[in-house]
Structure formats: C-alpha cells, structure tokens
C-alpha cells in the first residue's frame, strides 16, 4: 500500500513539472521555432532569386539578422545604384561575380549560408551599422555575432573582404569563393561561367556568320565602287592619319580627347612631354598628313603641269606651305619638350 502511494505521488509530481515549465524554456523554444521559420523563408527567397542573391530591405535586415544568434550565416554585398556605371569601382561586374558564386553554392546543395545584397540609398542606416567605409564592400555575418536593434555591429577584422587582401577592385567569383571558404568552410572548387560557345546554338550561329561574311566579302570584291581609285586613296590617307595621330593608343589606354582647366576652359594640348590628349594627337596627325601631301604634290603633281610659269608658281606655293607646316610641327615639339633645334650649314 505504501509503495502504491509513492508511485501515485511520483506521477503527480512529474505531471506538475511538465505542465509548469519555466517561462524561459517556453520562450527559448518559441524563438527556436521562429528562427527555423526564418531560415525556411530565406531558402524560399533564394530559390525565387534568379542568381540566388536575396535583396534585403532595412525591414528584412531587422527581421532576419537582428538577434543574439542565427541558425545561418550571411554574405552581404553592399552596392550603390548611382555608382554602378563608375568603371573604377566595377560594382556592376562585382555584383555579377557575386551572383555566380551564389548560384554555384545553390547548385552544390550546401546549406547554412545565404547571399544578400543591400543598396545604399535604400539602406543608409544599415550601411552605417555594418561600418561600410567604401565600396566595394563584402562582409560575412557570423551566426554567433550579436546584432542589436540599432548601433554599429561589431565584426572581426577578417569578416570583411578587404582590398589589401585581394589587391584589386576587380574581384572574381573565385576570390569571393576563397573568402567564403575561409569564413564558412564551404568550398566551391570551380565557378561555372555561362558561355554561348557551349550552347547548342553556337555551331549553327557560327556557320551562319561565316557564310554571311563570305557572301559580303564576295559581293564587295566584285562591286563597282570598290574599283574607285578615289575611294582607295581616301582610305589610305585615313589609315595613315589615324596611325600617326595615335588613334589606336587612345582607344586602348582610354585617353580623353580634352580636359577642362580650373577656369572651365577646354585644353587640347598638354604642356609637358608626359603624354598627349586625343585631340592633340589628331591635330598633329593632320599636320603630318598636310606636310606629306604637300611634299608628294611637289614631287609628283607639279612636274606634270604643262605651263612653266604655272609649274614654277605651284612649286613655290608648295615649298612655302610645307615650310610653314613643318615650322608649326617643330614649334609644338619644342613647346612640349623644351628641346631647341639647331641648323648647321
């Protein structure tokens, strides 16, 4: 009888403990369930995104990041819409590389990390909390880092992808993959870049392009205007002018045509021998062309004039004009370099 009473008492005590759990345990369980739901939401958003990168608004940042810890890590790419076309920053290209890495992680089936991006004008307060000092800026939000409702988030120094670690702004997806591996342990060995050359349509398009170019070349070769001597002469003169003016150098190096000075006036010539502007090269190339054409006229065209007086007058005009052009070329050279020409007889 005594043992039966002990058993009944133990059952009653256990039932009391079950139905009277501490409020803190219930809160912890509720938070865990909420975090699991948040992770499922992020997984759904990542699947909906074309490249696996979720665009975060300030509200989403507060919902999915704020807290003492999270059951997932975040790789955050900070950008600014008004700077996307700035070539020095290459934000558009970096965002594409970021998306390629996110796509590879999604295809690998590895979980526990999400890729998100933030835009400056939309999320100025979040940029301040992340400590963004310049762009481009990529930061790793560790699952265990505490993120308050406001204030600057305290990251470790190596949680930020810095310029001095990779040496340039033109990060590739492989550089970001190395950063991801160091922070999360997820290793992406190869980034698959989409290429039209691997498409099934490439052989068809390539063959069609070859046939089209062949047909165009055939028709041009037998076209009447291609036998026009004036057209070929103008083409030769253009090639000569473009070559001696440094046109190809300007294209490769991105040399500006001109630059405005402090007073807003347009400057075409650089007053030093460190280089030249685009228009400066074209002007000097035109002067070289004038000098060459004048000497060629003096050599080949003037002797063919029938009247001796006309021949003599044309020769003097060519000599004087060639001399003036040559003097201007020498004066420009002297002005830029400081070297003086000496004539010895």
- Write the CB contacts of 180 (distance below 8 Å, at least 6 apart in sequence): 75, 101, 105, 113, 186, 188
pLDDT greater at residue 240 or residue 339: 240
Q: Residue 101: name the closest of 52, 135, 46 by CA.
A: 52
Q: Model pTM?
A: 0.55
Cross-sheet strand order for the sheet of 53-55: 53-55, 113-119, 73-79, 137-141, 160-161
pLDDT for residue 28:
45
Beta strands 259-260 and 266-267, pairing class:
antiparallel
Return the minimum-mean-pLDDT range out of 254-263, 274-283, 293-302, 311-320.
254-263
Round to whole Å and give the CA distance between 316 and 310. 10
Q: Which residues, at least 6 apart from 329, have a Cβ–Cβ distance to it below 8 Å?
A: 284, 287, 288, 291
Q: What are phi and psi of 61, to 5 degrees?
A: -60, -45
**What is the tens place of the pLDDT at every residue in 23-79?**
444 444 555 566 778 889 999 999 999 999 999 999 999 999 988 888 899 999 999
Q: Can you give the pLDDT at residue 231?
A: 87
Q: In the prediction, which pLDDT does 240 show?
A: 92
Separation between Cα atoms, residue 334 and residue 328, nearest integer Å? 10
Distance, first Cα to last Cα, the chain = 141
Measured between alpha carbons, how far is residue 147 from residues 56, 153, 162 in Å? 16, 6, 21
* pLDDT tens profile 113-139: 999 999 999 999 999 998 888 888 899
pLDDT at position 1 over 60: no
According to CATH, what is the number of the domain 18-184?
Answer: 3.40.30.10
| Residue 286: C-alpha distances to residues 19, 132, 243, 292, 308 (Å) | 96, 50, 11, 10, 31
What distance in Å separates the CA atoms of residue 38 and residue 114, rounded to the nearest whole number? 12
Reported as half-sphere exposure (CB side, CA atoms, 13 A), residue 163 has a value of 9
64 closest CA partner among 95, 91, 43, 94: 43
The pLDDT assigned to 164 comes to: 60
- pLDDT given for residue 3 in this prediction: 57
- Looking up tokens 């007086």 gives 309
Q: Please state, rounded to an integer, the average pLDDT across all residues of the chain.
A: 83
Cross-strand pairs, 141: 74
| pLDDT at 68 (0 to 100) | 85
pLDDT mean over 10-16: 53
Instruction: Please tell me which residue, 226 or 185, carries the higher pLDDT value.
Output: 185
């Amino acid at each position: 009888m005594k043992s039966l009473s002990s058993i009944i008492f133990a059952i009653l005590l256990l039932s009391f403990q079950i139905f009277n759990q501490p409020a803190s345990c219930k809160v912890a369980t509720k938070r865990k369930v909420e975090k699991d739901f948040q992770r499922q939401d992020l997984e759904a958003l990542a699947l909906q995104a074309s490249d696996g990168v979720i665009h975060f608004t300030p509200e989403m940042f507060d919902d999915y990041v704020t807290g003492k810890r999270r059951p997932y890590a975040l790789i955050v790419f900070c950008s600014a819409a008004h700077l996307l076309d700035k070539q020095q920053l290459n934000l558009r290209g970096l965002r594409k590389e970021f998306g390629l890495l996110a796509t590879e992680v999604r295809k690998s089936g590895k979980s526990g990390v999400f890729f998100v991006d933030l835009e400056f004008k939309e999320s100025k307060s979040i940029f301040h909390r992340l400590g963004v000092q310049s762009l481009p800026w990529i930061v790793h939000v560790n699952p265990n880092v505490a993120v308050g409702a406001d204030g600057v988030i305290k990251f470790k120094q190596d949680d930020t992808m810095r310029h001095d670690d990779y040496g340039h702004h033109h990060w590739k997806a492989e550089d970001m993959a190395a950063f991801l591996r160091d922070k999360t342990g997820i290793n992406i060995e190869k980034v698959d870049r989409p290429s039209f050359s691997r498409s099934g349509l490439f052989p068809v398009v390539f063959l069609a392009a070859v046939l089209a170019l062949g047909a165009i070349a055939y028709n041009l070769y037998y076209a009447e205007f291609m036998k026009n001597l004036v057209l070929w002469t103008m083409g030769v003169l253009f090639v000569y002018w473009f070559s001696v003016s440094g046109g190809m150098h300007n294209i490769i190096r991105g040399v500006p045509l001109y630059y405005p000075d402090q007073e807003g006036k347009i400057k075409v010539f650089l007053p030093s021998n460190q280089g030249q502007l685009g228009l400066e090269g074209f002007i000097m190339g035109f002067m070289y062309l004038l000098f060459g054409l004048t000497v060629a006229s003096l050599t080949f065209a003037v002797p063919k004039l029938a009247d001796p007086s006309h021949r003599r007058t044309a020769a003097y005009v060519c000599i004087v004009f060639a001399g003036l052009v040559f003097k201007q070329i020498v004066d420009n050279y002297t002005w830029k370099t400081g070297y003086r020409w000496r004539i010895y007889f």
